């Protein structure tokens, strides 16, 4: 198992390298450069800046220079936020994004599975149909539509919550977290319902019932784990989805998270900042997916067994 | 002990049991007007071809039918009708007084839980044993069904066991609570002859020591003969013949029973192996024929068989559903 994990971790390196390479060249293909302003700078200043940031070197030279930096875990200075390094900007924005993202995923997992189980246990009832109707809505309406609706209802009309901003207080967290979690809640509820219904039809559940165990023990002890396995495997993609979703959410709610920096960076051709955030998120997604796989294997004795051999 | 129980009221009495399944094609009539009863210490075999309704009969009694299934009639266990009970009421009997050994060893164990957990939950739940006692008890039972190194094996997951080994685990689980009624659905199909013998011996011992009643569902007429006193032959959801093992094996009255007996491969006539299985197929359970359901395949069928044949009963409690076979 440990050997297997190590091998998988090493396998992430080529993926990251590919991500870095593609991002590096893509962003340079995009028209414009970091120091294009409304008013063109005098040529000698432009040249000075280019020299300072090595933008006068050939693309390949820049690429390898950047690679060297990244290996030493230094994403370089930001082009736009002149006094900041990219590392500092990430350190600044990430705790905010992490708080939003982590809370949203935990919320999505618990609320989603609970709704899914509730629907499965009342299959084809009104509860089931309304829950699944709600889930369909949650999946099909994108974040950037849900957000203004929630803002309108809960912030503007009801006045219960702030419409945006971030002060590390709970009220400022509610709307962004709920908006980010809703589609995942809906999706997880659907997965859980389907897998729970399937598991409840399996022969080993019949065996458990024949033992005279109460229905709640049958579900908790025998059905829950297999029913949750598909949800666990969805967590990997869900995390990636939340990260891209957070970019939008942070803009809408004016949250000073990593996503905001990313958008700013992209708009300003802040090459180093964009690259830094892309690589940081890339590593995050890969590592979290790896942890999810470990969790899956831990919950599924058959996989654990196959890996031991 | 056995003879003293003969006059008791039956432990389980199945009356007019019908089991149907709703399917897109219509209703599958899996069990039709079935009647039988079993007393404490009795051993009854249910035999018949695949699809005859053997499993669904006992599933109905245990409240374990699939969602599209429904049962009518009565299944009186110790005076109460199992078919009228809620799941909570059934749970007072299931596992404790009625144990079931399921047919499919590959899928009947929970693949996500160790064997020990699955075995001890029954005894802990019903007999209030603590974990260690329950575990010791379970290890002993695994030893009894001839699982080598049970202390180690009980810590393993089902997929670490072969099919035959899983079947033994399932049998051990069924025997664990010393039920009043043990229902064993093909408990020995995946096992070799020696182990088959050992397991029937175990079940026989349980019956003799605890006065347990046993319903054995089996294709294997040899195992049936070794363990059971009475045999119920089912065809297309109906009882076609019922009697003691001697009556049914040596004096079969129903042509289907005779066909079944002739289809048993015999060592003394190896050249006929497989040739003697009854020609034709059981009727479609969606559209059962009105008269004798065996008519299409019966070598002795006549026009009179278009009417539903009555159950004939001789004075030795031997019954069969055929217009023929009477002594006159
Ligand atoms: N959920 C279901 N829906 C529709 N038909 C079903 C369902 N469950 C069982 N049946 C049908 O009921 C009939 C009786 O099935 P049953 O399981 O009792 O057969 P059996 O006598 O135990 O056969 P075997 O020896 O193969 O186990 C079969 O034709 C089967 O296809
Ligand atoms: S009733 Fe007729 S068809 Fe049916 S088993 Fe008897 S002889 Fe055969
Ligand atoms: Mg069966």
pLDDT given at position A165: 87
Residue B289's SS3 state is: coil
Residues forming beta bridges with residue B312, ordered by sequence position: B320
How many whole angstroms separate alpha carbon A14 and alpha carbon B91?
56
**Cβ contacts (< 8 Å) between B159 and chain A: which residues?**
301-302, 305
Nearest CA in chain A to B125: A213
Residues forming beta bridges with residue B15, ordered by sequence position: B74
Q: Which tens digit of pLDDT belongs to each residue from B153-204?
A: 999 999 999 988 999 999 999 999 889 999 999 998 878 888 888 889 989 9
For residue B58, the CA-to-ligand 1 centroid distance in Å is 11
State how far residue B166 is from chain A, nearest Cα, in angstroms.
13
Residue B99's SS3 state is: strand
Q: Which tens digit of pLDDT belongs to each residue from A174-224?
A: 999 999 999 999 999 999 999 999 999 999 999 999 999 999 999 999 999
Q: Which tens digit of pLDDT belongs to each residue from A28-55?
A: 887 777 777 666 778 888 888 888 878 8
Phi first, then psi: give them for residue B320, nearest 5 degrees.
-155, 150
What are B19's two structure tokens? 């089991």
pTM, two decimal places? 0.87
For residue B185, the CA-to-ligand 3 centroid distance in Å is 7
Verify whether ligand 2 is closer than 6 Å to residue B206 (CB atom): no
Site to probe by mutation for ligand 2, drawn from B292, B299, B311 as the one with most ligand atoms within 8 Å of Cβ, is B292
Architecture of the domain made up of A92-260: Orthogonal Bundle (1.10)
Crossing angle between the packed helical segments B131-144 and B115-127, to the nearest 10 degrees: 120
pLDDT given at position A1: 67
What are B231's two structure tokens? 């045999």
Segment B123-131 long-range contacts (CB within 8 Å, at least 24 positions apart) = B123/B176, B123/B177, B125/A211, B125/A212, B125/A213, B125/A217, B125/B95, B126/A212, B126/B95, B126/B96, B126/B177, B127/B96, B127/B177
What are B83's two structure tokens? 């078919």
How many whole angstroms separate alpha carbon A219 and alpha carbon A200?
8
Cβ of A212 within 8 Å of Cβ of B109? The answer is: no
Q: Where are the domains of chain A?
A: 92-260
In order, the DSSP letters of B166-229 are HHHHHHHHHHTT--SEEEEESTTTTS-HHHHHHHHHHHHHHHHHH--EEEEE-S-HHHHHHH-S
3-state secondary structure A77-120: ECCCCCCCEHHHHHHHHHHHHHHHHHHHHHHHHHHHHHHHHHHH
Q: Collect residues with CB below 5 Å from ion ligand 3.
A: B 55, 103
Residue A305 burial (CB count, 10 A): 14
What are A69's two structure tokens? 């930096």
Half-sphere exposure of B298 (CA within 13 A, CB side): 24
What is the H or E stretch that residue B232 is in? strand B230-235
ipTM for the whole complex: 0.90
Closest CA relative to residue A219, chosen from A118, A82, A75:
A118
Segment A256-261 long-range contacts (CB within 8 Å, at least 24 positions apart) = A256/A92, A256/A93, A256/A96, A256/A166, A257/A93, A257/A94, A257/A96, A257/A97, A257/A100, A257/A166, A258/A90, A258/A93, A258/A94, A258/A96, A258/A97, A259/A93, A259/A97, A260/A93, A261/A89, A261/A90, A261/A92, A261/A93
Residue ranges in chain B whose pLDDT is less than 50: 1-5, 272-275, 328
State how far residue B179 is from chain A, nearest Cα, in angstroms.
11
pLDDT given at position B1: 44
Mean pLDDT computed over A236-261: 90
Pocket of ligand 1 (CB under 6 A): B 21, 23, 28, 30, 48, 50-56, 66, 68-69, 103, 285
What are B203's two structure tokens? 């079940």
């Amino acid at each position: 198992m440990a050997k297997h994990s190590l091998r998988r971790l090493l396998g992430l390196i080529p993926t990251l390298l590919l991500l870095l390479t593609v991002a590096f060249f893509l962003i340079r293909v995009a028209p414009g450069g970091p120091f294009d302003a409304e008013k063109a700078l005098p040529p000698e200043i432009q040249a000075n800046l280019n020299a300072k940031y090595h933008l006068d070197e050939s693309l390949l030279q820049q690429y390898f220079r950047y690679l060297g930096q990244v290996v030493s875990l230094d994403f370089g200075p930001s082009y736009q936020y002149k006094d900041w390094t990219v590392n500092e900007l990430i350190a600044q924005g990430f705790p905010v994004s992490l708080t939003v993202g982590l809370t949203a995923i935990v919320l999505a997992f618990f609320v989603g599975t609970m709704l899914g189980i509730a629907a499965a246990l009342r299959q084809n009832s009104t509860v089931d149909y309304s829950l699944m109707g709600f889930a369909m809505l949650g999946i099909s309406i994108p974040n950037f539509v849900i957000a203004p609706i929630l803002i309108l209802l809960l912030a503007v009309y009801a006045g219960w919550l702030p419409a945006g901003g971030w002060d590390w207080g709970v009220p400022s967290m509610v709307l962004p977290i709920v908006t980010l979690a809703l589609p995942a809640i809906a999706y997880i509820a659907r997965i859980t319902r389907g897998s729970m219904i399937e598991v409840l039809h399996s022969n080993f559940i019949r065996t458990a019932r024949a033992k005279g165990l109460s229905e709640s023990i049958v579900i908790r002890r025998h059905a829950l784990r297999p029913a949750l396995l598909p949800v666990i495997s969805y967590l990997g993609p869900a995390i990636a989805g939340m990260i891209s979703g957070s970019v939008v959410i942070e803009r809408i709610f004016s949250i000073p998270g990593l996503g905001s920096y990313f958008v700013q960076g992209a708009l300003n051709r802040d090459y180093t900042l964009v690259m830094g955030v892309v690589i940081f998120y890339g590593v995050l997604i890969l590592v979290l997916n790896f942890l999810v796989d470990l969790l899956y294997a831990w919950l599924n004795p058959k996989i654990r067994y196959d890996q031991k051999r | 002990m056995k003879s003293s129980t003969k006059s008791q009221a039956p432990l389980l009495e199945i009356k007019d049991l019908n089991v149907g399944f709703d399917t897109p094609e219509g209703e599958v009539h899996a069990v039709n007007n079935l009647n039988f009863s079993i007393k404490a210490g009795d051993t009854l075999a249910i035999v018949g071809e695949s699809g005859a309704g053997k499993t669904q009969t006992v599933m109905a009694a245990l409240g374990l039918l699939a969602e599209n299934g429904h049962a009518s009639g009565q299944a009186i266990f110790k005076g109460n009708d199992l078919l009228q009970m809620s799941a909570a009421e059934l749970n007072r009997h299931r596992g404790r007084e009625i144990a079931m050994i399921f047919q499919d060893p590959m899928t009947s164990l929970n693949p996500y839980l160790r064997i020990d957990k699955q075995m001890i939950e029954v005894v802990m739940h019903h007999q209030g044993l603590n974990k260690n006692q329950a575990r010791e008890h379970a290890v002993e039972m695994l030893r009894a069904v001839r699982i080598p190194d049970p202390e180690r094996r009980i810590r393993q997951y089902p997929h670490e066991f072969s099919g035959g080994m899983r079947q033994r685990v399932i049998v051990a689980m069924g025997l664990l609570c010393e039920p009043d009624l043990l229902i064993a659905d093909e408990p020995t199909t995946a096992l070799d002859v020696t182990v088959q013998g050992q397991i029937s011996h175990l079940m026989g011992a349980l019956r003799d020591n605890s006065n347990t009643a046993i319903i054995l569902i089996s294709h294997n007429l040899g195992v049936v003969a070794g363990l059971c006193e009475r045999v119920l032959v089912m065809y297309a959801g109906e009882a076609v013949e019922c009697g003691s093992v001697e009556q049914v094996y040596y004096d079969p009255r129903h042509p289907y029973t005779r066909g079944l007996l002739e289809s048993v491969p015999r060592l003394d006539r190896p050249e006929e192996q497989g040739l003697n299985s009854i020609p034709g197929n059981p009727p479609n359970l969606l559209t059962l024929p009105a008269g004798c359901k065996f008519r299409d395949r019966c070598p002795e069928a006549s026009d009179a068989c278009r009417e539903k044949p009555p159950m004939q009963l001789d004075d030795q409690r031997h019954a069969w559903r055929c217009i023929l076979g009477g002594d006159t």
